[in-house]
Each structure stands twice: as C-alpha cells, then as structure tokens.
Amino acid sequence: MIGIGILSLSLATIVYYLISRTREITSSDKQNRLISFSTSYCLSGLNGTMNINLPALSDAYYQDYEVSQNRVKLNSIKSRFGRLVDSISQMTRLSDSLIYSFIFIESRGDEFAVSGKAVGLMQVGVNSATDIIFTEYKKGRLNSSEIALLQKHLGSRLNQIFSMKSAGMDQVVTSSDLFNPELNILIGCLYLGQLIDEHQENNSVRLDKVVTRYNMGYYSFSKGSQLIGDAMDIIAKVNPVTRAYITKLIGRNGILEMLEAEKCG
C-alpha cells in the first residue's frame, strides 16, 4: 500500500517533498557557513555560501515610527552584550546581526526574562538546553572554543552531557545556568546554527522555517518536514505569535534588515 501511495503522487510533489525535508547536518556545514545579506539600502552584492535578500517579506510588523525606538533599544543591547556577541559570533560562525535580532525579539535584552520554561536573553528552553549541547557534540560540531566556554560555566557537568546515550536522557543545564548571558547566548546560537544548517535551500536559508522551529520547538511540524511552501505559506500555517516573530525578523522594517542596513554606513 505504501508503494501504491507514493506512485499516485505527481513527480513534482515527490521532488518538492524531497527538497523540503530537513537536512542531516554535519560539522562541515558549520565550518563552511557564511551567510550574507543584501538590503534595499545596501546593494553591495551577495558573496556568502548562503545568501539572503532583505526584507524577505513585504509585510511589516513594526510601523515606521517604531524603527528609531527599536534602534535605541538595539544600541543598548549592543553596549551591554556586544563583547559577548562578537566573541560567540566568531566562535559559532553566526552573523552578529542574527544574534542581536534574536536577543531583541526574544527578550529585548533582559537576561532575566522568563516565559514558561524559556529563559534568558535568547529564551532558551530549560528542557532543551542539554539536548542542544548533546546534539552538537554527537554530530562532531563543537569546536575547542565552544567546549572551553561550556566547561567554564558547567564544569564537570559537561562530561555528564557528553556521556549521554541519547537526547532526552537527562536535564543537566538548569534555569539558573541560563540566566548567565554568556552561556545563554552560546547555547541559543548552537541551536540557531543547527536550525539554519537544516534549512538551507537553493544557496539560501529559510529563516521563516528557522524562526518557526526556534519559537515552537525543534520537533514542531515533524522537525520542519511539514513546513512546505514559500514564506507566506509558512506564515499561514503558524500561530499568531510565531507569525509576528517571522515578520519582526525578516519583514519590512524588520530587525535584521535594520541591523544589516546600519553596516552600510
């Protein structure tokens, strides 16, 4: 019956399904990751391994008058956490603009923010933090700088994570750990990097899918395999909170566009 069901699908549907499935990520994905952005204010060209045009949506969450207010808040976040973001950006091979964007949208720079079981600057789930580290280790993606930083904050508990047989076995990282800005940003970036590498499509990154799973959980929509279609199709599938999140990040007047435009001077 399975074979008959597959044969009944059109070739185009099968091809699209195969393309849309999440990728198996490797250490080379992370090592070779280079995301470049192009905004309407900065037409300097795209030269990364993954290229993203901004805004990616014509819809806007933020009104024009809110842009200057957001810029003031972002500058405050940069002044407080810029040293950590710069270091972890290089360590994890993630754009500082992406990191600042997620910090802004998730917590507006409040390291003590709590929403349910999500904690800190990047609202890392206390139930997910241990598994994020385990997954990165198991796939051989943790570099020496990341391991050293994890050891700095977790001590011998890091070996407890490394010795786990599978994800979900233990909860080693606590909510108290996640109130530490440096550790929170690192784990948030490890998770963000995993999702970015899983959602590479046509030499770009589907940030709408990345945001959906960052916001709703790694296993949402069958680990992203059910997120089929363009950005507007994804927006139609998700809840209002996630819909707003996507628009805040990659829509017109979005945080990511603002940060990248500032780099153009």
**How would you write the pLDDT of the chain (265 residues) with one tens digit per residue?**
333 333 333 444 444 444 445 668 899 999 989 888 888 666 544 556 678 889 999 999 999 999 999 999 999 999 999 999 999 999 999 999 999 999 999 999 999 999 999 999 999 999 999 999 999 999 999 999 999 999 999 999 999 999 999 998 999 999 999 999 999 999 999 999 999 999 998 888 999 999 999 998 887 777 777 889 998 999 999 999 999 999 999 999 999 999 998 887 6
Domain count for the chain: 1
Q: Are the C-beta atoms of 56 and 250 separated by less than 8 Å?
A: yes
* pLDDT score at 14: 40
* pLDDT score at 48: 63
From the number of C-beta atoms within 10 Å of its C-beta (0-12, 13-18, 19+), residue 6 rates as exposed
Of the candidates 239, 12, 75, which has an alpha carbon nearest to the alpha carbon of residue 85? 75
Its pTM stands at: 0.88
**Could you tell me where the DSSP H helices lie in the chain?**
2-7, 11-20, 27-31, 64-92, 96-107, 129-138, 144-154, 157-162, 175-178, 181-198, 207-216, 220-223, 231-237, 240-250, 255-262
Structural domain range at position 106? 2-262
Q: Is the dihedral of CA 223, 230, 31, 108 positive or negative?
A: negative
